[in-house]
Structure 1
Amino acid sequence: MGYIKNIPHENRLRLAEQVSIQPGQVVSKTLAQNKAVSLTIFAFDKDEEISTHASHGDAMVTVLEGTGKFTVDGKEYILEAGETLVMPAGKPHAVYGQEAFKMLLTVIFPLEG
Structure 2
Amino acid sequence: MTEPQAEQKTAADKKREELVSKVLAVNDLLQYQDGTVASRMIVFKKAGTITLFAFDAGEGLSEHSAPYDAILTVTDGEADVTIEGAPFTVRTGEMIILPANKPHGVQARQRFKMTLTMIRE
Q: Which residue of 1 aligns with 2:67?
A: 56
Measured at CA, do residues 62 and 7 of structure 1 come closer, stay the same or move farther in structure 2, by a change above 3 Å?
A: farther
Does residue 49 of structure 2 align to residue 38 of structure 1? yes
The offset of 1:6, in angstroms, is 6.0
Residue of structure 1 in register with 2:24 after alignment: 13
Deviations 1:16-74 (A, max 9, x none): 11001100010000011233201100000000011010000001000000001111110
TM-score of the superposed pair, with normalisation by structure 2: 0.83
In our comparison, the structure showing a higher alpha carbon Rg is 2
Give the letter aligned to residue 61 of structure 2: I
Tell me how far apart the structure 1 counterparts of residues 86 and 97 of structure 2 sit (CA, whole Å): 13
8 Å Cα contact 1:42/1:104 also seen in 2: yes
Q: Which runs of 5+ in 1 are unaligned?
A: none
Cα pair 1:70 1:94 within 8 Å, conserved: yes
Query: What aligned pairs does 1:64-83 form with structure 2 within 5 A after superposition?
Result: 64-83=75-94
Identity of aligned residues (%): 34
Q: Distance in 2 between matches of 1:60 and 1:22?
A: 23
Larger helix proportion of the pair = 2
Structure 1 segments of 4+ aligned residues over 3 angstroms from their partners:
none
Cα distance change on mapping 1:80 and 1:6 into 2, 3 Å: farther
Determine whether 1:29 maps to 2:40: yes
How many pairs are equivalent? 109
Q: How does 1:82-93 map to 2 (within 5 A)?
A: 82-93=93-104
Q: Give the aligned residue type for 1:90.
A: N
- What's the secondary structure of 1:5's corresponding residue? helix
